[in-house]
Amino acid sequence: MEQPFSSMPDPLRSRELIDLAFRRARKREVKIPRRTPKDLKAKIKEETRITSAGNIVINRLHKVVAETPRISDLHPFYREVADAVVGVDNLRKALARIKRAETIVKRLLKDHLRMVKRAREVHEAARIRKAFYGRLSSVLKKLDKDLALIKEAGAKLRKLPSIDPEGLTVVVAGAPNVGKSCFVKCVSTAKPDIASYPFTTRQVLVGHLDLGGVRVQIIDTPGLLDRPIYKRNRAEQQAIAALRHLAKSVIFMIDPSETSGYTIKEQVNIYRGAVEVLKDIPHLPVLNKVDLASERQIKEVEDELGLRNLPKMVALRCLGVKEVLVEAVKAARRGEG
């Protein structure tokens, strides 16, 4: 499953596009019969340059708009992520201005070609071509902010994980180092895809598996559901909100051994925060690293949560993981019901 931004354009900035257009136009040679009158030769030469520079710009601008996915076609998950990264309003406005610029350049091209045809002498044709170049530069210079925004958005959005938003998705959450990635690797039958969110430098794993004929996607959430929610910036909060469109159930991993570097109390706080954001999405608190945890530590988690007999795993050795996965998928299907 391709994510919608995977072929998002990487546009040239204004200066680069101007240089490219003029360079290509200069190199365009036309064969003109030697005995052609001098003024006609000049006209053909300038006409060729104008057409070439204009069309390069028109084609490039057109591609930028055509290759950026339409916001209204996006699944809410990807729309929210895009909103968190660049702001979909900004994206829409930038695309609208690029489209308008394309129309303007088309008109300028037509007008200046007509003027060249009417030119009476050699210098006039060159002057019209220069005027066209000037107008073209000024249109593009005004567009630089918009091109920069698309470029930046593309760089971030192209790396997003490929997820089928309609599929059955189980999200794995928990503090850093509790064993989330180990768990995803254990339960994936195919090699997990590695991608990134624009909000964290850590890598996201997307695992795939087939559970009794049901295709399940399982995703890691590094940097998202691993700290208290109030410590989040706006983009991160929005990214967490986006997860809600995707997650059919959530496995929340707690490491009672505290070897992850997070105390039981801290982890329970993160868990409570995550539950609050995830609202009605079924969630399943589970214990990992029970090979390193004492009875007392396990009991402490259970007392804090007011729950008994939490599922226990050793994700490092893939012990107890299947049971947890089956529970999470059951909860997800109940929720879909």
Q: Tell me which residues touch ligand GDP (CB under 6 A).
A: 174, 176-182, 288-289, 291-292, 314-316
Q: Are strands 168-174 and 214-220 parallel, antiparallel or unpaired?
A: parallel
Tell me the residue type at 306.
Answer: G
Cβ–Cβ < 8 Å for 213, 255: no
Which region among 1-9, 17-25, 64-72, 177-185 touches Mg ion (by CB under 5 A)? 177-185
Residue 181 sits in the site that holds Mg ion (CB under 5 A): yes
| Nearer to ligand GDP (CB atom), residue 174 or residue 273 | 174
The residue whose two tokens read 């303007």 is: 104
| Nearer to Mg ion (CB atom), residue 201 or residue 309 | 201
| Nearer to Mg ion (CB atom), residue 194 or residue 326 | 194
Residue 257 sits in the site that holds Mg ion (CB under 5 A): no
| Nearer to ligand GDP (CB atom), residue 1 or residue 316 | 316
Q: Least separation, in Å, of the C-beta of 268 and ligand GDP?
A: 16
The whole-angstrom separation of Cα 154 and Cα 86 is 10
Q: Least separation, in Å, of the C-beta of 291 and ligand GDP?
A: 5
Secondary structure of the chain: what % helix, strand, coil (to 5)? Answer: 55, 10, 30
| Nearer to ligand GDP (CB atom), residue 55 or residue 177 | 177
| Sequence-distant contacts of 323-327: CB under 8 A, at least 24 apart | 324/183, 324/251, 324/284, 324/286, 325/170, 325/187, 325/209, 325/211, 325/216, 325/218, 325/251, 326/211, 327/284
Closest CB to ligand GDP belongs to which residue?
179
Site size toward Mg ion, by CB under 5 A = 1
Residue 288 sits in the site that holds Mg ion (CB under 5 A): no
Q: Per the structure block, which two tokens stand in for 99?
A: 């489209």
Residue 249 sits in the site that holds Mg ion (CB under 5 A): no
DSSP code, position 192: P
Q: Are strands 214-220 and 203-211 parallel, antiparallel or unpaired?
A: antiparallel
Q: Least separation, in Å, of the C-beta of 67 and Mg ion?
A: 32
Choose the one of ligand GDP, Mg ion, none that binds residue 314, judging by a C-beta under 5 to 8 angstroms depending on kind. ligand GDP
Q: Which residues bind Mg ion (CB under 5 A)?
A: 181
